[in-house]
Amino acid sequence: MLHLLPKVSENERKVINSCLLNATAYNIPFFIKFHQGLNISKMYNLLTQYFEKYAIFRTFYHVEEEITKCTDGAIPTIEIQSFKHLDKKLLCDMNLISIKDKELVHVVLCKVADEECDYMFFNIHHVLLDGFSINLFLQDLIEVYLYDREIDLQLSTLVDEGDRTKADQHNESLISFEKYEYFKSRLIQKQIDSVNYIDDQLVITGNNTQKYTDFAICVTAFSMSMAQWVESRAIYMSYPHLGRDCRNYKMLGNFVQLIPFHHHFASEQDERIDHMIAGIQQSVFSSFTNQDGYDEVMRKERMSCMNIFRDVIFDYKSGSLIEKVINEDHEIVLEEASMYRDEKYGLHFSIYKDLNHLTINIISSEYGMDDLQDLLASFRHNVQSLYAQEHVYVRELLTLNEAEEEEKIETVTSSEQGSVFDQVTSIVTSLIEEETILGANESFFDLGMDSLLLVKFKKKVKEAFNINLKISDFFNFYTSELLTRKIMDNLKEAK
């Protein structure tokens, strides 16, 4: 029997809108490696019980003009397959999930002939669970599997986000967007039509006594690398923070929150690195009082918010947050798949820290491999220096030009550009049903453009000009004047 749930939470809506821009965005595939073998029938029965008992695994969405959330009596399919050799990438590619699928969970229990160990492949859509919740689920599942414990039915209700208690106080000095346009312009200069992935390993050396959190050190190192990379004293990005019930993986919309982050290096060239880390750590801790940085920024700077939450994401994890060794005695290990699909961001820079080892994963939908390698090399150097040296000065690690010239956008003047401009404004007003005259520098998003309309916008631009822009172009060129210039550039290249 199909059950319609009354409301889609804001977090779910954010995820779904992002998925409409990229069919396989927000897949979270991973492998559990059972070194001592896997009891296939026992695991199959356990998974069946979990899927039957918890509605979150049987939830899917109707995505049309409106988004509706549903649960079905049918549980996700659990496949059993035998392999001579396990090709993980191929298995992942064959089990990708679209937000419009009726099953948002794919499971394959794998027997591998040429290995002594067995695997469980699990792919779940991020609209149901986040990475932290997945780890909680796996720990719970494996404990029941190994020790025949009863499945815990507590906290199993689908809870609407609006029913939860949220913090009453907000950090009013959350972020300043004074220098954002220059930073954004520097990012745009680096953008190309390219999707790239990088996996890297780094061993932290040095015996310096650590005063600050690993997160503060790593985000400082990355901030400095970003500043050098785009040659901007001001950098803007976002990072995930839990900000919710850490015990519960069974509630829809129970996700991490993206917290905006900004730092300006103008007056810090002669400052010691440890003083800068201390200031950044204090800033990070103060942001934790805000339950939803997205909503806070949205109320103040709508267009800046639309960009800052997709431009650059710094994602820090550690062994204390996400355990890769799920059970040491039975040698059951989580292998995070590097095939994680998250291409909706311009740049997703992830770090997993285990003791003195850093695993670095970069996913980029907008930057070339050479540029990404430069950014990675800078981060490797900076993070090593920050862990090893307490009294080094900022100027010794970060070199920036003395002046930054704001880049001015020329006004659209030629007759051909004027024709393109008129067509763009006509498309926008028809989509947002706005009868007033659209200003050349008015943000589409301030006028009500959302991801559902953006898909239609992209289609109409292709029909009108016979060019296929990326969705990210509409975020980067978000006024009629900016988009006209982008379309003209593409038309010139075509000629």
CATH number for the domain including 190?
Answer: 3.30.559.30
Does 215 fall in a domain? yes
- Contact yes or no for 365/341 (Cβ under 8 A): no
Residue 271 C-alpha from the chain's centroid: 32
pLDDT digits (tens, 9 = 90+) for 28-45: 899 999 999 999 999 999
Does 109 fall in a domain? yes
Residue 193 predicted with pLDDT over 90: no
Residue 389 predicted with pLDDT over 80: no
DSSP class of 393: B
Identity of the highest mean pLDDT range in 137-141, 206-210, 387-391: 137-141
Q: Radius of gyration (Cα) for the chain, nearest Å?
A: 24
pLDDT digits (tens, 9 = 90+) for 318-372: 876 677 888 999 999 988 655 566 666 889 999 999 888 999 999 898 899 999 9
Distance CA(47)–CA(69), nearest Å, equals 23
Confidence (pLDDT) at 200: 93
- Lowest-confidence region among 238-252, 433-447, 480-494: 238-252
Of residues 346, 360, 288, 377, the one with CA closest to residue 470:
346
Residue 119 predicted with pLDDT over 60: yes
Residue 51 predicted with pLDDT over 70: yes
pLDDT digits (tens, 9 = 90+) for 158-171: 444 444 434 333 44
Residue 483 predicted with pLDDT over 70: yes
SS3 (DSSP) at 331: coil
- Lowest-confidence region among 85-94, 177-186, 362-371: 177-186
Distance CA(253)–CA(135), nearest Å, equals 16
Q: Are both 372 and 248 inside the same structural domain?
A: yes
* One-character DSSP codes across 433-488: T--SPPPTT--TTTTT--HHHHHHHHHHHHHHHS----HHHHHHS-SHHHHHHHHH
Domain boundary among 134, 162, 190: 162
CA distances from 18 to 14, 61, 126, 319, 344 (A): 6, 14, 11, 29, 7
Confidence (pLDDT) at 159: 47
**Who contacts 165 (Cβ-Cβ below 8 Å, separation ≥6)?**
none
Residue 317 predicted with pLDDT over 80: yes
The larger pLDDT score, comparing residue 452 to residue 186, is at 186
Q: What is the pLDDT confidence band of residue 201, given thresholds at 50, 70 and 90?
A: very high
Confidence (pLDDT) at 407: 47
In degrees, rounded to 5, the angle at the alpha carbon of residue 410 between the alpha carbons of residues 407 and 413 is: 175
Q: Are both 263 and 361 inside the same structural domain?
A: yes
Q: Are both 365 and 269 inside the same structural domain?
A: yes
Q: Are both 129 and 275 inside the same structural domain?
A: no
Does 408 fall in a domain? no
Domain boundary among 162, 190, 208: 162
Per-residue pLDDT, averaged over 306-318, amounts to: 84
Confidence (pLDDT) at 171: 41
37 φψ region: left (φ > 0), alpha (ψ -120 to 50), beta (else)? left
Distance CA(165)–CA(152), nearest Å, equals 24
Q: What is the mean pLDDT of the chain?
A: 80
Residue 173 predicted with pLDDT over 60: no
Domain boundary among 353, 370, 397: 397
Does 404 fall in a domain? no
Of residues 351, 392, 356, the one with CA closest to residue 205:
356
Residue 375 predicted with pLDDT over 90: yes
Does 402 fall in a domain? no
Confidence (pLDDT) at 81: 95
- Lowest-confidence region among 80-84, 377-381, 481-485: 481-485
Residue 283 predicted with pLDDT over 90: no
Q: Are both 345 and 271 inside the same structural domain?
A: yes
Confidence (pLDDT) at 163: 43
Q: Are both 326 and 208 inside the same structural domain?
A: yes
Q: Are both 156 and 198 inside the same structural domain?
A: no
Other C-beta atoms within 10 Å of 227: how many? 22
Confidence (pLDDT) at 123: 94
- Contact yes or no for 226/396 (Cβ under 8 A): no
DSSP class of 55: G
Residue 460 predicted with pLDDT over 70: yes
Distance CA(354)–CA(320), nearest Å, equals 8
CATH of the domain at 460: 1.10.1200.10
Q: Which residues pair with 364 in a beta bridge?
A: 196, 347
CA distances from 495 to 81, 94, 374, 445 (A): 52, 39, 33, 31
Q: Which residues pair with 318 in a beta bridge?
A: 353
Confidence (pLDDT) at 42: 96
**Who contacts 412 (Cβ-Cβ below 8 Å, separation ≥6)?**
418, 421, 440, 481, 484, 485
Q: Are both 386 and 324 inside the same structural domain?
A: yes
Tell me the percentage of the chain whose pLDDT exceeds 90.
Answer: 27
Does 167 fall in a domain? no
Does 62 fall in a domain? yes
Distance CA(67)–CA(451), nearest Å, equals 12
Tell me the percentage of the chain whose pLDDT exceeds 70.
Answer: 78
Q: Are both 150 and 181 inside the same structural domain?
A: no
Q: Are both 125 and 191 inside the same structural domain?
A: no
Q: Which residues pair with 357 in a beta bridge?
A: 203, 354
Residue 325 C-alpha from the chain's centroid: 24
Count of domains forming the chain = 3
- Contact yes or no for 21/455 (Cβ under 8 A): yes
Confidence (pLDDT) at 354: 87
Distance CA(158)–CA(289), nearest Å, equals 25
Q: Are both 158 and 267 inside the same structural domain?
A: no
Q: Are both 229 and 368 inside the same structural domain?
A: yes
Strands 357-364 and 196-203: antiparallel
Alpha helices in 158-272 (DSSP H): 180-190, 214-230
Per-residue pLDDT, averaged over 296-302, amounts to: 60
Per-residue pLDDT, averaged over 150-155, amounts to: 67
CATH of the domain at 23: 3.30.559.10
Of residues 29, 21, 99, the one with CA closest to residue 365:
21
Does 169 fall in a domain? no
- Lowest-confidence region among 69-83, 251-265, 395-409: 395-409
Distance CA(443)–CA(477), nearest Å, equals 9
Residue 444 predicted with pLDDT over 70: yes
Per-residue pLDDT, averaged over 391-405, amounts to: 73
Of residues 305, 273, 13, 275, the one with CA closest to residue 174:
305
Any idea which residue has 């649960």 for tokens?
71
CA distances from 390 to 206, 210, 384 (A): 11, 9, 11
Per-residue pLDDT, averaged over 278-282, amounts to: 88
- Lowest-confidence region among 2-6, 103-107, 171-175, 377-381: 171-175
Q: What is the pLDDT confidence band of residue 63, given thresholds at 50, 70 and 90?
A: confident
Domain around 467: 415-494
